[in-house]
A and B are shown apart, each in its own frame.
Chain A
């Protein structure tokens, strides 16, 4: 029964960029399987670090549907962020792992 559940739950896809992509051997996207359809943000983060422990070397953040997930209230830009502890994620969400940025 458990096996059947696993197969019916679509994996979460996580886009990788820059140094994070190189840590994952050049993969632009990784897939992570969970038993349940709705995944807590912190569980996703923990899983990424379990699969790729080297990611601990980079202070990455995660964006869900183009919004950075954080537990900090952004005074200047409240629209840019999503609260970390209340965020749950499904396979329909766009997830991206963002290393420290350096544009300009």
Chain B
């Protein structure tokens, strides 16, 4: 199950949804808003998504995970909109029979979310400034597409 939502991510609901009687392991990862970046204090982050494509890519990642590992439950939810420090921006829960698959699949999922999903974050700084965070060019496109 994947989703991109504006309301706060409900971790207790995710933990209920990822239960499976045949599984012995669940790995839950959450990403949240830090109070600082490399140079300055951060008061919050505004997340923006290309919603249709972001959902498509999340489904692709889910399908890849289901092909690579024996996964009983897959949940990946990304939040968008304005988040304050400490609020959860992304949550991933992977339930598998044994723990190794869950750890590996969870790492694969967050690594691919960070490099493939068309979502952007604008840091709101305590100084009052706001800047789009330097990001990753998806798929490391060859230089000759750039000028």
**Residues of chain A whose beta carbon lies under 8 Å from any beta carbon of chain B:** 15, 17-19, 22, 45, 49, 56, 59, 61, 63, 66, 68-72, 74, 77, 79-81, 84, 94, 96, 98-104
Q: Are B56 and A61 in contact (CB under 8 A)?
A: no
> Which single member of A19, A66, A69, A70 contacts B53 (CB below 8 Å)?
A66
Answer whether A61 and B141 are a contact pair too, CB < 8 Å, given A77-B60, A96-B50.
yes
**How far apart are the CA atoms of A31 and B137 in the complex, in Å?**
24
Q: Are B122 and A101 in contact (CB under 8 A)?
A: no
Answer whether A68 and B134 are a contact pair too, CB < 8 Å, given A77-B60, A80-B57, A80-B60.
no
Interface of A is mostly: mixed
Of the 9-residue stretches B6-14, B15-23, B93-101, B113-121, which lies at the interface with chain A?
A: B113-121
**Residues of chain B whose beta carbon lies under 8 Å from any beta carbon of chain A:** 31, 47-50, 52-54, 56-57, 60, 64, 78, 89-90, 110, 113-122, 132-142, 144-147
B130 to chain A, nearest CB (A): 11
Q: Are A100 and B139 in contact (CB under 8 A)?
A: no
Q: Are B135 and A100 in contact (CB under 8 A)?
A: yes
For this complex, 18 residue pairs linking A to B, each with C-beta atoms less than 8 Å apart, are A15-B50, A61-B139, A68-B141, A69-B145, A72-B142, A74-B139, A77-B64, A80-B139, A96-B53, A98-B138, A99-B120, A101-B117, A102-B121, A103-B49, A103-B90, A104-B78, A104-B90, A104-B114
